[in-house]
Amino acid sequence: MALRAAVLRHIRLPVQTLTAAGSRPQPQWSFLRLFSSHDDHLTKEEVIDRVLDVVKSFPKVDPSKVTADVHFQKDLGLDSLDTVEIVMALEEEFKLEIPDKEADKIDSCNLAIEYIYNHPMAG
Amino acid sequence: MAFTLRSVKVPPNSASLEEARGRVFDFFRQACRSIPTIMDIYNLDDVVTKSQLRSTIASEIRKNTHVTNPKVIDMLLFKGMEELNNIVEHAKQRHHIIGQYVLGRQGLAQDLDTKDEGVSDFLKNFYKSNYF
């Protein structure tokens, strides 16, 4: 008992004084939600980079012609089967499953990037 | 039982070339989506990549682009579907897949070991064919 009192007398703890407006939450903790995947979306640059990589590594494509707004059939000279193949390669890269109706509409890099960026499950 | 469901659909009866075209793309997408399963079943991971298999499937489909009759296209699709079913339900074996879909123009893999290193170009060409 006496030891406890003696020890307690010698312990100093930093005392945090509350401001007059009351206690505010620490700013650095309010952005850290440990189990939330809400902010987990891909950034647009990352999507663009990965889409362009997939298109460039397609064997029939000339990598120097690939830009972000290139049209698969008009600019790269591919045919419709190649377009479907590129869409399937993008599905594999981003672990998505694109329904047929949407896949038929994807005709150029622009549309592909937009679709993937807006897809909530893009990985 | 998933593998039998693929063949149970009504046999395609396309009215027009456009419909047949749509079915070809559906078949292609179905085949591409089964590629991960196929690579897993036959342990093809160190032999070929998924994109190479996709290109092989596309070139097989492309061999028949000259066909204009929708019923002939339906028949070809039926055979393609049958082949895909056979592969996915493990009715084929690894060497079938490798021989038919992985190896290209050069056929079976050449085994080049130390005995061939000192061989001259003349002999190498000679072994391949008569005319060079």
Question: pTM (2 decimals)?
Answer: 0.73
Answer yes or no: is the ipTM higher than 0.95: no
- Which residues of A are catalytically annotated? 79
Interchain CB contact of A95 with B (< 8 Å)? no
The better pLDDT of the pair B117, B70 is held by B70
What is the predicted pLDDT for the residue at B126?
Answer: 84
Residue B15 per-residue DSSP state: S
Q: What DSSP letter does each residue of A32-97 carry, written as one string?
A: --TT--TT-PPPHHHHHHHHHHHHHTSTTS-GGG--TT-BTTTTS---HHHHHHHHHHHHHHHT--
Cβ pair B34, B90 in contact under 8 A: no
Mean pLDDT of B60-70: 89
Question: What confidence tens digit (pLDDT) does each residue in A55-67 have?
Answer: 998 888 888 888 8
Cβ pair B54, A83 in contact under 8 A: no
Contact A82 B58 (CB under 8 A): yes
Contact B25 A59 (CB under 8 A): no
Confidence band for A37, pLDDT divided at 50, 70 and 90: low
Mean pLDDT of chain B: 84
Q: Which residues are CB-contacts of B88 (< 8 A; sequence separation ≥ 6)?
A: B3, B6, B34, B37, B38, B41
- Residue A4, pLDDT above cutoff 90: no
Q: Which residues are CB-contacts of A93 (< 8 A; sequence separation ≥ 6)?
A: A50, A51, A54
Contact B28 A84 (CB under 8 A): yes
Among chain A residues, CA nearest to B23: A100
Question: What confidence tens digit (pLDDT) does each residue in B73-129 have?
Answer: 999 999 999 999 999 999 999 999 998 888 876 665 565 566 666 778 888 888 888
What is the predicted pLDDT for the residue at B124?
Answer: 80
Residue from the list B55, B61, B62 with its beta carbon closest to the beta carbon of A59? B55
What is the predicted pLDDT for the residue at A62?
Answer: 86
Cβ pair B77, B24 in contact under 8 A: yes
- Cβ-based interface (< 8 Å): residues of B facing A: 21, 24-26, 28-29, 32-33, 50-51, 54-55, 58, 61-62
